[in-house]
Amino acid sequence: MSKPTATPSLTVHGDKITASSRDVAKAFGKQHRNVVRAIEELDCSQEFKLLNFERLKFNHRGNEYIYYPMTRDGFSFLCMGFTGKQAASWKEKYIAAFNAMEAELLQQKIWIGGLTQALEHICPTPPTEADNIRNQRAVKTLRALAAYWSILEEMPLRAAESAACVVGRLRRLDDLDLTRHQFGDMRDFLERAIIHSDKDMRPATEEQINAIKFLVEACAQFRYSRDRNIYNLLQEEYGISIETIVNATSGEAKRIAALAYNLLHQHLMQTMTINEIKRRAQEADGKRPDSDELPPQIDDGEEQP
């Protein structure tokens, strides 16, 4: 028999709050295989079972087993057959845990909904554009990046565009169709080419490398990137590793520093926008700030640079 768990364990699975059959088995002191069998033999409609139980698999010591994440309704239907004083206590604990998590998610939805409305008021979403207009915008973006790269490399613009077209698998840039061609791959290729492109082949100076380090570390403190290792982010999204920075030429260092600066500037602008939204929300709730001149702050307790 499984050892009971101390507290109910819930997760958000998809858009639903769920309890795992594995955790339920531990909480109620039952063998997991018996809980799985009880779920599969429930005398309920197939529609109810599909809505409230999801059959998933997990591996343990090289063997594959079944488990079920279940919703509040699924948990209630299953556990109404569990009897005894200990079972009753765990039912109460799970109901309280479901209530608490649902209340927390509701508050998050309310906050996000208010933030979305505020952002929409400040920066309205433009109307949906026709496919040909979107294609034209994408072509302009790629042509601008290719032109910048061609200047840095001192090569014809046609050559730069052709290289991007090879990546996107199309004959010429003006043939771009966002529904068929790899716009993202073309853009990433050109941005990386720009970063690593320069005729100045002298080794980067210590001052240049330190400047990049300061910019990158400043970016890392913001909520938009602090949940990830900032150097992993640079590697995955821009192809820039620590080795790239340390071994960069002077020209490459300038390009990397420019990218890091743009990232930092973007984070600062996002933070200032969110702080302004919060300030206006406080005013709307009657909680006026002490001063009309509020310095920008990094959101949610983050240190100011």
Spatial distance between the Cα atoms of 175 and 132, rounded to a whole number of angstroms: 11
pLDDT of residue 285: 59
Rounded to two decimals, the pTM is: 0.43
Domains in the chain: boundaries: 10-120, 132-197, 203-305
pLDDT of residue 122: 66
Q: What is the mean pLDDT of residues 22-44?
A: 92
For 63, phi and psi rounded to 5 degrees? -110, 150
- Give the pLDDT band (50/70/90) at residue 140: very high
Decide: 257 and 211 in contact? Cβ < 8 Å: yes
* DSSP letters for 15-75: TEEEEEHHHHHHHTT--HHHHHHHHHT-SS-HHHHHHHB--EEEEETTEEEEE-EE-HHHH
pLDDT in tens, 209-255: 888 888 888 877 765 555 567 778 788 877 888 888 888 888 888 88
End-to-end CA distance of the chain: 54
- Give the pLDDT band (50/70/90) at residue 304: very low
